[in-house]
A = this chain, B = another copy of it.
Amino acid sequence: MHLDIGAALGDDAEPGVDEGDLDDLDEQVAQAHETIAAGRENDDFGYAALNLPEETDTSVIREAVEPVADAEYVLTVGIGGSALGAKTVTAALADDPHRHVILDNVDPEHVERTLSDLPLDDTAINVVSKSGTTAETLANFLVVRAAYEDAGVDWTELTVVTTGESGPLAELVAEHDLPRLPVPDGVPGRFAALSSVGLVPAAILDVDIEGLLAGASAAADGLGPSLYDSPGYAYGAVCYALEEEGAAVNAVMPYAERLEYFAEWFAQLWAESLGKEGRGQTPARALGATDQHSQLQLYRAGPNDKMVTVVRPGERAEVPIPESEHDSLSYFAGADLGQLLDAEYDATVASLAEAGRPAVEIELDELDAEGLGELLYAMEAATVLVGELADIETFTQPAVEWGKRAARGLLSGEETEETKTVAQRPSYRID
C-alpha cells in the first residue's frame, strides 16, 4: 500500500498543504505518536484498538464458528460498528459476498423480506452488541428468533453471539448455552473490525482472517514518529492539515466495487470519532467510476471545501472489452474493463488537480486479505492521529446518547425530559 499526496500539495490546490509545511506537520505527528504509543503500551481505552492485530486470537473465533461453519448464509444482527466492519471484510474478501446478509436497521418491511428470502435452516445468526443493550439489535434479534421458531428451525444451534460479559445478550448466551465471543476490552465498536466483532462472518465464509490480521500487523509495525514512514499517519496528517485549510468534506471514493462498504466503514470511523466540539470533516461516501456521473461536477466546480480520497487496488481481473462493429467505439480496441476503470481513475485525479481541488490517492498492492488488513489499520491509525492533532476525545460518542434515551422513552411511554422535548419540538408544516 502506498499513498500519493501530490495532488493535495503545492500552490495550485485550494485547500492545499504547502510542501514546506510538511516538516512542521511532521513534528506534530512525532508528538502525537508519543501519546499514541504510550496509550497502546498501557492498553488505554481506545488506543487498545491499535493492538488488535496482535491481540486477536483467530483460533478462538474459528472454534466458536465451527458449529455453523457449513451454513450457506450468515445473517449479522448488529448496527453501526457491530455491522460495518464485518460487512466490509466479507464484501471485500468473500468468494460470494451475497452469503453475508445484514440486519442493521429496524425497518419492518425490510426485516420481514430479508427473513423470508433466506433459507433459515441454512443461515447462521451472528448477533453483535458490545453493551448487549442496543435497542435495534435486540428488537431485531427477537424478531429473527421468532421467525426461526415459526419455521421450525432451532436457532440456538445456529447462533453465535459477540457481546460483553453482562447485559441481556450475555444472559441469553448463558440461558441457551450459545457460543459467545468476547468484545475486546477498551475498544469502541467502530474500531473493532479486527476482532470477533468484525471477523465472525468472514470466518464462517472461509475468508483468510489470519492474512487480514497479518496485513494489519505489518501496518502496525510501520507506525513511527514520522509521517514520512507510514501511509496511515501520512493520510491522517494530510487530512488534518487540509481540514485546517478548509476541507470540511472528505469524499472517499474507492475505484473497486468490493470496497463500497469500506467507504461506509470509514465514514463511521471518521464521523463518530472526529465529529466533535464543532469540528470534524464530513465523510462523503462515493464510488468510482459511478460517482463521476453523479458527484464529480460538485467536487470539481462546487465550493473549495473538499478533499477527495481515491482508493484502488494495483491489480484487477482481466475482462476484455469485445471488439465492436462501430467505428465510434474504436477507442476501446484491445482494452479491457480494468483499463477503462483505471483510465477513469487517473483522469479524475488529474481533473481535480487541474481544477485546484486536492485529491489523495491510496493504492493497495492487491485487494487481498493482507491488503485489506493494511488498509483498515492504516485508516484507524489515521483517525487516532487526527484526534490527537485536533485535541479531541476520539473514542467517545456523547452526542448520540440523548437520542437513544429519547427513543427508549418514547417506546416505553414513560415521560422523561427527553420525551417532553420530543413532544414539544418545533413544527411548521407546509402541505
Contact = CB atoms under 8 A, between A and B. Distances in A.
Contacts of A335: 139, 411
Nearest to A13: B426
Contacts of A80: 290, 293-294
Given A337-B107, A351-B406, A19 B302 contact: no
Interface string A323-366: 01110111111011111110110111111011100000000000
A272 interface: yes
A60 interface: no
Identify whether the interface residues of A are mostly helix, strand, loop, or mixed.
helix
A98 B5 CA distance: 40
A399 B301 contact: yes
A142 B321 contact: yes
Interface string A207-250: 00000000000000000000110110010000000000000110
B319 A108 contact: yes
A324 B142 contact: yes
Contacts of A336: 108
Nearest to A137: B293
A317 B108 contact: yes
A406 B412 CA distance: 58
A329 B110 contact: no
Given A295-B268, A344-B106, A411-B339, A322 B172 contact: no
A143 B108 contact: no
A20 interface: no
A9 B410 contact: no
Nearest to A5: B428
Contacts of A19: 428
B303 A4 contact: no
A136 interface: yes
- Interface centre among A4, A9, A319, by most chain B C-beta atoms within 10 angstroms, is A319
Give the size range of A's interface with the partner.
35 or more
- Interface centre among A107, A272, A340, A414, by most chain B C-beta atoms within 10 angstroms, is A107
Nearest to A402: B351
A302 B279 contact: yes
Nearest to A425: B350
Q: 5 smallest A-B Cβ distances: which pairs?
A: A275-B298, A80-B293, A6-B426, A275-B302, A347-B406
Interface of A: 2-7, 9-10, 19, 79-81, 84, 98, 104-112, 117, 133, 135-136, 138-140, 142-143, 145-146, 167-168, 171-172, 175, 190, 227-228, 230-231, 234, 248-249, 251, 255-258, 264, 267-268, 271-272, 274-280, 282, 284-285, 287-290, 292-306, 316-319, 321-322, 324-326, 328-333, 335-341, 343-344, 346-351, 353-355, 397-400, 402-404, 406-408, 410-412, 414, 418, 421-422, 425-431
